[in-house]
């Protein structure tokens, strides 16, 4: 009887060991479900939020020379400042949308110029290979956009004008890396690009 009890105890012990081992081998728990529901592609965020907003900001301040004279285009009225602010807020916050995981394009999206531009599927491969590089380029876009929002909040047209070029550089550097990298050039990190 005593011997039987030992076997039972041993058996129970082995069961515990098996359970623990089983737990160890279990796959890591799934990451917590996010509340975000990314719906648009990167191409859509670009074409519908980033690009139209940047265009309004760039075009809101300019010196236009014509036969009739020199026009200093600036937001002047409250309504004009409110309009550029809408674009600046959209642009700045779009950078957060670009940090949420989303595909570059829809499955049917192709490259418009396959000889020079990568397809969304190829861009996805690049982005997955090193997600930090993508985040760094998005951060540069944020860093270039926020001075424009600040300038608008201060109704400071000169700073708005002077911030335009840095914005262009932030767009172009990311596009050069992911969209139309120079042929044969290894894709480099943002810090290696001229700023």
Residues that bind ligand HEC (CB under 6 A): 42-43, 46-47, 50-51, 54, 98, 104-105, 120, 123, 134, 137-138, 141, 167, 170-171, 174-175, 178-179
Minimum gap (Å) between residue 84 Cβ and ligand HEC = 14
Q: Is the Cβ of residue 89 or residue 171 nearer to ligand HEC in the bound state?
A: 171
Task: Compute how many other C-beta atoms are within 10 angstroms of the C-beta atom of residue 81.
Answer: 17
Q: Which neighbouring-strand residues pair with 65?
A: 70
Burial class (CB in 10 A: 0-12, 13-18, 19+), 67: exposed
Minimum gap (Å) between residue 69 Cβ and ligand HEC = 30
Residue 3 has φ and ψ, to the nearest 5°, of -60, -40
Q: Is the Cβ of residue 9 or residue 48 nearer to ligand HEC in the bound state?
A: 48
Q: Is the Cβ of residue 84 or residue 179 nearer to ligand HEC in the bound state?
A: 179
Q: Is the Cβ of residue 84 or residue 138 nearer to ligand HEC in the bound state?
A: 138
Q: Is the Cβ of residue 6 or residue 96 nearer to ligand HEC in the bound state?
A: 96
DSSP H or E stretch at residue 28:
none
Q: Is the Cβ of residue 71 or residue 165 nearer to ligand HEC in the bound state?
A: 165
Minimum gap (Å) between residue 96 Cβ and ligand HEC = 12
Q: What tokens were used for 114?
A: 């396959």
* Residue in this structure with the two tokens 């550097």, named with its chain if needed: 173
CA atoms within 13 A on the CB side of 176: 16
Minimum gap (Å) between residue 55 Cβ and ligand HEC = 7
Across the chain, the runs of DSSP E, i.e. the strands, are: 62-66, 69-73
Minimum gap (Å) between residue 57 Cβ and ligand HEC = 8
Give the orientation angle of helix 131-153 with respect to helix 78-97, to 10 degrees. Answer: 160
Minimum gap (Å) between residue 15 Cβ and ligand HEC = 53
Residue 194's region, left for phi above 0, alpha for psi from -120 to 50, else beta, is beta
């Amino acid at each position: 009887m005593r011997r039987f009890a030992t076997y039972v105890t041993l058996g129970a012990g082995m069961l515990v060991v098996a359970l623990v081992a089983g737990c160890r081998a279990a796959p890591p728990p799934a990451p917590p479900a996010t509340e975000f529901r990314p719906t648009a592609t990167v191409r859509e965020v670009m074409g519908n939020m980033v690009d139209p907003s940047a265009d309004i900001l760039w075009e809101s301040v300019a010196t236009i020379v014509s036969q009739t004279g020199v026009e200093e285009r600036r937001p002047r009225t409250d309504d004009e400042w409110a309009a550029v602010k809408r674009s600046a807020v959209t642009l700045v916050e779009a950078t957060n949308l670009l940090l949420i995981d989303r595909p570059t394009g829809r499955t049917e999206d192709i490259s418009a110029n396959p000889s020079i531009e990568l397809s969304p599927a190829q861009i996805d491969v690049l982005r997955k290979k090193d997600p930090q590089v993508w985040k760094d380029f998005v951060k540069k876009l944020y860093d270039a956009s926020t001075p424009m929002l600040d300038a608008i909040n201060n109704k400071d047209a000169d700073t708005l004008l002077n911030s335009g070029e840095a914005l262009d550089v932030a767009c172009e550097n990311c596009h050069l890396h992911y969209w139309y990298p120079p042929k044969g050039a290894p894709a480099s990190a943002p810090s290696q690009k001229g700023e």
